[in-house]
Amino acid sequence: MKKDLVTIITPCYNGEKYLKRYFDSIVNQTYKNIELIFINDGSKDKTESIIKEYEGKIKQKGYEFKYIYQENAGQAEAVNKALPNISGEFLYWMDSDDYLEPDSIEKLVNFLQKNENYNIVRGKVRIVKDGKEIKIGKPKKNESEYIFENYIFGINTYCYPGIFMIRMEEFDKNIKDRKIYSLVGVGQNWQLILPNTYNQKCGFVDSIVYNYNIIENSHSRTELKKFEDEINKINSDIDVLYHILTDLKVLDKYREKIELLYDRSRIRVGLKYDKYNYINEILENEKKNYKNYKENKKYWILKNKAFYRLYRKVKNR
Protein backbone atom coordinates (compact mmCIF):
# COMPACT_ATOMS: atom_id res chain seq x y z
CA MET A 1 0.00 0.00 0.00
CA LYS A 2 1.25 3.47 -0.90
CA LYS A 3 1.27 5.84 2.05
CA ASP A 4 -1.24 8.73 1.90
CA LEU A 5 -2.63 7.49 -1.43
CA VAL A 6 -6.44 7.46 -1.65
CA THR A 7 -7.98 4.89 -3.98
CA ILE A 8 -11.39 5.85 -5.36
CA ILE A 9 -13.39 3.02 -6.93
CA THR A 10 -16.47 3.60 -9.07
CA PRO A 11 -18.64 1.05 -10.87
CA CYS A 12 -20.63 2.45 -13.78
CA TYR A 13 -23.41 1.20 -16.02
CA ASN A 14 -24.72 3.55 -18.74
CA GLY A 15 -23.57 6.67 -16.92
CA GLU A 16 -23.01 9.05 -19.82
CA LYS A 17 -25.53 11.66 -18.65
CA TYR A 18 -23.67 12.41 -15.41
CA LEU A 19 -20.11 11.24 -16.06
CA LYS A 20 -18.61 14.62 -16.99
CA ARG A 21 -19.82 16.11 -13.70
CA TYR A 22 -18.47 13.06 -11.86
CA PHE A 23 -15.02 13.31 -13.47
CA ASP A 24 -14.86 17.09 -13.06
CA SER A 25 -15.53 16.73 -9.33
CA ILE A 26 -12.62 14.27 -9.05
CA VAL A 27 -10.01 16.17 -11.08
CA ASN A 28 -10.88 19.33 -9.11
CA GLN A 29 -10.06 17.78 -5.72
CA THR A 30 -7.80 19.79 -3.43
CA TYR A 31 -6.17 16.50 -2.38
CA LYS A 32 -3.86 15.35 -5.17
CA ASN A 33 -2.58 11.92 -4.07
CA ILE A 34 -5.33 9.88 -5.72
CA GLU A 35 -5.69 6.60 -7.56
CA LEU A 36 -8.91 6.20 -9.54
CA ILE A 37 -10.19 2.73 -10.45
CA PHE A 38 -13.16 2.99 -12.81
CA ILE A 39 -15.13 -0.15 -13.69
CA ASN A 40 -17.33 -0.06 -16.78
CA ASP A 41 -20.06 -2.63 -16.09
CA GLY A 42 -20.86 -3.37 -19.72
CA SER A 43 -22.30 0.06 -20.58
CA LYS A 44 -24.13 0.37 -23.92
CA ASP A 45 -24.06 4.18 -24.14
CA LYS A 46 -21.18 6.65 -24.55
CA THR A 47 -19.60 5.86 -21.19
CA GLU A 48 -16.37 4.52 -22.71
CA SER A 49 -15.82 7.52 -24.98
CA ILE A 50 -16.26 9.90 -22.03
CA ILE A 51 -13.74 7.85 -20.02
CA LYS A 52 -11.22 8.19 -22.84
CA GLU A 53 -11.93 11.92 -23.03
CA TYR A 54 -11.06 12.34 -19.35
CA GLU A 55 -8.18 9.86 -19.09
CA GLY A 56 -5.63 12.47 -20.17
CA LYS A 57 -7.01 15.08 -17.74
CA ILE A 58 -6.85 12.58 -14.90
CA LYS A 59 -3.23 11.69 -15.61
CA GLN A 60 -2.28 15.37 -16.06
CA LYS A 61 -3.39 15.90 -12.46
CA GLY A 62 -0.82 13.31 -11.43
CA TYR A 63 -3.46 10.74 -10.46
CA GLU A 64 -3.00 7.05 -11.03
CA PHE A 65 -5.76 5.72 -13.28
CA LYS A 66 -6.94 2.15 -13.83
CA TYR A 67 -9.77 1.37 -16.22
CA ILE A 68 -11.52 -2.01 -16.07
CA TYR A 69 -14.19 -3.25 -18.46
CA GLN A 70 -16.49 -6.17 -17.67
CA GLU A 71 -19.60 -7.58 -19.30
CA ASN A 72 -22.66 -6.43 -17.35
CA ALA A 73 -22.65 -8.32 -14.04
CA GLY A 74 -23.81 -5.78 -11.46
CA GLN A 75 -22.14 -3.42 -9.02
CA ALA A 76 -21.00 -6.02 -6.49
CA GLU A 77 -19.07 -7.91 -9.16
CA ALA A 78 -17.64 -4.63 -10.45
CA VAL A 79 -16.40 -3.84 -6.95
CA ASN A 80 -14.79 -7.29 -6.83
CA LYS A 81 -12.91 -6.47 -10.01
CA ALA A 82 -11.54 -3.30 -8.39
CA LEU A 83 -10.61 -4.49 -4.90
CA PRO A 84 -7.49 -6.54 -5.82
CA ASN A 85 -6.14 -3.55 -7.78
CA ILE A 86 -6.18 -1.08 -4.89
CA SER A 87 -2.80 0.46 -4.12
CA GLY A 88 -3.85 3.18 -1.69
CA GLU A 89 -3.57 3.47 2.06
CA PHE A 90 -7.19 4.64 2.11
CA LEU A 91 -10.29 3.41 0.25
CA TYR A 92 -13.15 5.61 -0.94
CA TRP A 93 -16.00 4.48 -3.19
CA MET A 94 -18.74 6.37 -4.99
CA ASP A 95 -21.34 6.10 -7.75
CA SER A 96 -20.82 7.58 -11.20
CA ASP A 97 -24.03 9.64 -11.17
CA ASP A 98 -22.99 11.48 -7.99
CA TYR A 99 -20.28 14.06 -7.35
CA LEU A 100 -17.88 15.43 -4.74
CA GLU A 101 -17.23 18.75 -3.08
CA PRO A 102 -13.75 20.08 -4.01
CA ASP A 103 -12.30 19.32 -0.56
CA SER A 104 -14.18 16.05 0.12
CA ILE A 105 -11.20 13.70 -0.08
CA GLU A 106 -8.89 16.09 1.78
CA LYS A 107 -11.22 16.38 4.76
CA LEU A 108 -11.74 12.63 5.12
CA VAL A 109 -8.02 11.89 4.78
CA ASN A 110 -7.12 14.60 7.29
CA PHE A 111 -9.40 13.02 9.88
CA LEU A 112 -7.83 9.58 9.54
CA GLN A 113 -4.30 10.98 9.52
CA LYS A 114 -4.96 12.94 12.73
CA ASN A 115 -6.96 10.18 14.46
CA GLU A 116 -5.01 6.94 14.26
CA ASN A 117 -7.43 5.18 16.63
CA TYR A 118 -10.12 5.37 13.94
CA ASN A 119 -10.09 3.09 10.89
CA ILE A 120 -13.24 4.43 9.23
CA VAL A 121 -14.79 7.87 8.93
CA ARG A 122 -17.88 9.36 7.30
CA GLY A 123 -19.07 12.84 6.40
CA LYS A 124 -22.38 14.50 5.61
CA VAL A 125 -24.26 13.97 2.35
CA ARG A 126 -26.37 16.37 0.31
CA ILE A 127 -29.31 14.61 -1.35
CA VAL A 128 -30.14 16.23 -4.69
CA LYS A 129 -33.02 15.70 -7.13
CA ASP A 130 -33.41 17.55 -10.42
CA GLY A 131 -30.60 19.90 -9.38
CA LYS A 132 -32.31 20.88 -6.12
CA GLU A 133 -31.22 20.05 -2.60
CA ILE A 134 -33.75 17.78 -0.89
CA LYS A 135 -32.07 17.33 2.49
CA ILE A 136 -28.76 16.87 4.27
CA GLY A 137 -27.90 13.45 5.68
CA LYS A 138 -25.92 13.46 8.93
CA PRO A 139 -25.78 11.53 12.22
CA LYS A 140 -28.84 11.73 14.42
CA LYS A 141 -28.58 13.58 17.71
CA ASN A 142 -26.66 11.52 20.26
CA GLU A 143 -25.92 8.77 17.72
CA SER A 144 -23.13 6.54 18.95
CA GLU A 145 -19.88 6.18 17.02
CA TYR A 146 -20.56 2.44 17.11
CA ILE A 147 -22.93 2.30 14.13
CA PHE A 148 -22.82 -1.42 13.28
CA GLU A 149 -26.22 -2.36 14.74
CA ASN A 150 -27.86 0.81 13.45
CA TYR A 151 -26.80 -0.18 9.95
CA ILE A 152 -28.12 -3.72 10.34
CA PHE A 153 -31.54 -2.54 11.45
CA GLY A 154 -31.73 0.73 9.51
CA ILE A 155 -32.40 2.84 12.59
CA ASN A 156 -31.21 6.22 13.80
CA THR A 157 -28.61 6.67 11.08
CA TYR A 158 -27.92 7.35 7.40
CA CYS A 159 -26.06 5.29 4.84
CA TYR A 160 -24.90 6.33 1.37
CA PRO A 161 -21.97 5.48 -0.88
CA GLY A 162 -19.47 8.30 -1.03
CA ILE A 163 -19.57 9.30 2.62
CA PHE A 164 -17.05 6.72 3.94
CA MET A 165 -13.30 6.36 3.89
CA ILE A 166 -11.55 3.25 5.26
CA ARG A 167 -7.94 2.37 6.06
CA MET A 168 -6.97 -0.48 3.74
CA GLU A 169 -4.81 -2.08 6.43
CA GLU A 170 -7.95 -2.63 8.51
CA PHE A 171 -10.06 -3.45 5.45
CA ASP A 172 -7.77 -6.37 4.61
CA LYS A 173 -8.20 -7.75 8.13
CA ASN A 174 -11.99 -7.65 7.88
CA ILE A 175 -12.66 -8.61 4.25
CA LYS A 176 -10.50 -11.57 3.40
CA ASP A 177 -9.09 -11.92 -0.11
CA ARG A 178 -10.62 -8.52 -0.98
CA LYS A 179 -13.80 -10.16 -2.20
CA ILE A 180 -17.45 -9.47 -1.38
CA TYR A 181 -20.55 -11.57 -1.97
CA SER A 182 -21.72 -11.04 -5.53
CA LEU A 183 -25.48 -10.70 -5.87
CA VAL A 184 -26.89 -8.45 -8.60
CA GLY A 185 -28.61 -5.31 -7.37
CA VAL A 186 -27.98 -5.43 -3.61
CA GLY A 187 -25.49 -5.36 -0.86
CA GLN A 188 -22.18 -3.88 -2.01
CA ASN A 189 -22.33 -0.92 0.40
CA TRP A 190 -23.37 -3.09 3.34
CA GLN A 191 -20.52 -5.46 2.60
CA LEU A 192 -17.94 -2.70 2.59
CA ILE A 193 -19.30 -0.93 5.67
CA LEU A 194 -20.49 -3.60 8.15
CA PRO A 195 -17.29 -5.65 8.52
CA ASN A 196 -15.36 -2.42 9.07
CA THR A 197 -17.70 -1.04 11.74
CA TYR A 198 -18.13 -4.20 13.84
CA ASN A 199 -16.78 -3.39 17.32
CA GLN A 200 -15.12 -0.28 15.87
CA LYS A 201 -15.84 3.41 16.15
CA CYS A 202 -16.72 5.37 13.03
CA GLY A 203 -15.44 8.93 12.97
CA PHE A 204 -17.35 11.90 11.61
CA VAL A 205 -16.41 14.95 9.55
CA ASP A 206 -18.96 17.73 10.02
CA SER A 207 -18.92 18.78 6.36
CA ILE A 208 -20.74 17.79 3.19
CA VAL A 209 -18.41 15.39 1.38
CA TYR A 210 -20.84 13.86 -1.10
CA ASN A 211 -23.70 14.86 -3.38
CA TYR A 212 -26.12 11.99 -3.86
CA ASN A 213 -28.18 12.40 -7.01
CA ILE A 214 -31.65 10.81 -6.93
CA ILE A 215 -32.47 9.37 -10.35
CA GLU A 216 -35.78 7.56 -10.56
CA ASN A 217 -34.74 5.12 -13.29
CA SER A 218 -31.04 4.62 -12.51
CA HIS A 219 -29.37 1.20 -12.56
CA SER A 220 -29.21 1.05 -8.76
CA ARG A 221 -32.41 2.91 -7.87
CA THR A 222 -35.04 1.45 -10.17
CA GLU A 223 -38.39 1.44 -8.41
CA LEU A 224 -39.76 -2.03 -7.84
CA LYS A 225 -43.22 -2.26 -9.36
CA LYS A 226 -44.49 -5.77 -8.75
CA PHE A 227 -45.26 -7.76 -5.61
CA GLU A 228 -42.84 -10.54 -6.58
CA ASP A 229 -40.06 -8.05 -7.35
CA GLU A 230 -40.41 -6.36 -3.97
CA ILE A 231 -40.45 -9.65 -2.07
CA ASN A 232 -37.43 -10.90 -4.05
CA LYS A 233 -35.58 -7.67 -3.17
CA ILE A 234 -36.31 -8.22 0.53
CA ASN A 235 -35.12 -11.83 0.30
CA SER A 236 -31.95 -10.75 -1.50
CA ASP A 237 -31.22 -8.17 1.21
CA ILE A 238 -31.57 -10.87 3.85
CA ASP A 239 -29.34 -13.20 1.86
CA VAL A 240 -26.55 -10.62 1.72
CA LEU A 241 -26.96 -9.61 5.37
CA TYR A 242 -26.86 -13.22 6.57
CA HIS A 243 -23.75 -13.80 4.47
CA ILE A 244 -22.01 -10.84 6.14
CA LEU A 245 -23.06 -11.82 9.67
CA THR A 246 -22.05 -15.43 9.08
CA ASP A 247 -18.57 -14.30 8.09
CA LEU A 248 -18.44 -12.17 11.24
CA LYS A 249 -19.69 -15.15 13.30
CA VAL A 250 -22.54 -13.12 14.84
CA LEU A 251 -25.57 -14.33 12.88
CA ASP A 252 -27.14 -16.21 15.82
CA LYS A 253 -26.95 -13.05 17.93
CA TYR A 254 -29.02 -11.02 15.47
CA ARG A 255 -31.12 -13.57 13.56
CA GLU A 256 -34.37 -13.20 15.54
CA LYS A 257 -34.43 -9.39 15.36
CA ILE A 258 -33.63 -9.49 11.65
CA GLU A 259 -36.42 -11.98 10.97
CA LEU A 260 -38.87 -9.72 12.82
CA LEU A 261 -37.69 -6.64 10.92
CA TYR A 262 -38.03 -8.27 7.51
CA ASP A 263 -41.35 -9.92 8.32
CA ARG A 264 -42.63 -6.39 8.92
CA SER A 265 -41.32 -5.40 5.51
CA ARG A 266 -43.01 -8.39 3.88
CA ILE A 267 -46.30 -7.59 5.62
CA ARG A 268 -46.15 -3.98 4.37
CA VAL A 269 -45.62 -5.26 0.82
CA GLY A 270 -48.47 -7.75 1.26
CA LEU A 271 -50.82 -4.99 2.40
CA LYS A 272 -49.75 -2.79 -0.52
CA TYR A 273 -50.80 -5.47 -3.02
CA ASP A 274 -53.76 -6.94 -1.03
CA LYS A 275 -51.96 -10.28 -0.67
CA TYR A 276 -53.85 -11.38 2.44
CA ASN A 277 -53.11 -15.07 2.05
CA TYR A 278 -49.42 -14.25 1.90
CA ILE A 279 -49.68 -12.19 5.10
CA ASN A 280 -51.57 -15.01 6.78
CA GLU A 281 -48.71 -17.36 5.94
CA ILE A 282 -46.25 -14.99 7.63
CA LEU A 283 -48.42 -14.73 10.73
CA GLU A 284 -48.94 -18.49 10.92
CA ASN A 285 -45.20 -19.03 10.68
CA GLU A 286 -44.65 -16.50 13.42
CA LYS A 287 -47.00 -18.32 15.76
CA LYS A 288 -44.26 -20.90 15.99
CA ASN A 289 -42.14 -18.16 17.52
CA TYR A 290 -44.48 -16.51 20.05
CA LYS A 291 -42.15 -13.59 20.74
CA ASN A 292 -42.03 -12.55 17.08
CA TYR A 293 -45.79 -12.95 16.72
CA LYS A 294 -46.46 -10.85 19.79
CA GLU A 295 -43.95 -8.20 18.72
CA ASN A 296 -45.47 -7.91 15.25
CA LYS A 297 -48.95 -7.43 16.68
CA LYS A 298 -47.60 -4.76 19.02
CA TYR A 299 -45.77 -3.12 16.12
CA TRP A 300 -48.89 -2.70 14.02
CA ILE A 301 -50.87 -1.24 16.92
CA LEU A 302 -48.25 1.37 17.66
CA LYS A 303 -47.04 2.07 14.14
CA ASN A 304 -50.24 2.74 12.26
CA LYS A 305 -53.84 2.23 13.32
CA ALA A 306 -55.02 2.04 9.72
CA PHE A 307 -52.54 -0.73 9.03
CA TYR A 308 -53.64 -2.48 12.18
CA ARG A 309 -57.25 -2.48 10.96
CA LEU A 310 -56.00 -4.21 7.83
CA TYR A 311 -54.01 -6.58 10.03
CA ARG A 312 -57.23 -7.52 11.88
CA LYS A 313 -59.02 -7.87 8.55
CA VAL A 314 -56.38 -10.36 7.48
CA LYS A 315 -56.80 -12.37 10.66
CA ASN A 316 -60.57 -12.53 10.17
CA ARG A 317 -60.55 -13.64 6.53
CATH number of the domain bearing residue 45: 3.90.550.10
Query: Would 81 be classed as within a structural domain?
Result: yes
Residue 222 inside a domain? The answer is no
Q: Is residue 219 part of a domain?
A: no
Last residue of a domain, one of 213, 244, 279: 213
Give a yes or no: residue 220 inside a domain. Answer: no
For residue 220, pLDDT over 60 is answered with no
Report pTM. 0.88
Nearest to 20 by CA among 53, 69, 60: 53
pLDDT value at position 255? 92
Greater confidence, 287 or 78?
A: 78
Residues 157 and 204 in one domain: yes
Residue 31 has pLDDT above 80, yes or no: yes
Q: Is it the case that residue 182 has pLDDT exceeding 90? A: no
- pLDDT of 107 > 80? The answer is yes
Q: What is the pLDDT of residue 288?
A: 74
Structure confidence at residue 219 (pLDDT): 47
Same domain, 254 and 156: no
Question: Does one domain contain both 59 and 37?
Answer: yes
- Angle at Cα 56 formed by Cα 54 and Cα 59, nearest 5°? 110
Asked whether residue 209 falls in the same domain as residue 267, the answer is no
Mean confidence (pLDDT) of the chain:
89
Range in 168-172, 224-228, 278-282 the model is least confident about: 224-228
Q: For 261-301, what is each residue's pLDDT tens digit?
A: 898 899 889 888 888 888 888 878 877 776 666 666 665 55
The pLDDT assigned to 307 comes to 55
pLDDT of residue 317: 55
- Pair (184, 250) in one structural domain: no
For residue 205, name the pLDDT band (cuts at 50, 70, 90).
very high
22, 106: one domain: yes
Q: Based on the fold, state whether residues 28 and 110 are members of the same structural domain.
A: yes
- Secondary structure string (H, E, C) spanning the chain: CEEEEEEEEEEECCCHHHHHHHHHHHHCCCCCCEEEEEEEECCCCCHHHHHHHHHHHHHHCCCEEEEEEECCCCHHHHHHHHHHHCCEEEEEECCCCCECCCCHHHHHHHHHHHCCCCCEEEEEEEEEECCEEEEEECCCCCCCCCCHHHHHHCCCCCCCCCCEEEEHHHHHHHCHHHCCCCCCCCCHHHHHHHHHCCCCCEEEEEEEEEEEECCCCCCCCCCCCCHHHHHHHHHHHHHHHHHHHHHCCCHHHHHHHHHHHHHHHHHHHHHHCCCHHHHHHHHHHHHCCHHHHHHHHHHHHHHCHHHHHHHHHHHHC
Q: Do residue 189 and residue 248 come from a single domain? A: no
Q: Are residues 120 and 252 in the same domain?
A: no
| Parent domain of 290 | 227-316
What is the percent of the chain where pLDDT is above 70? 86
**Total domain count for the chain?**
2
Residue 221 lies in a domain: no
Higher pLDDT, 220 or 144: 144
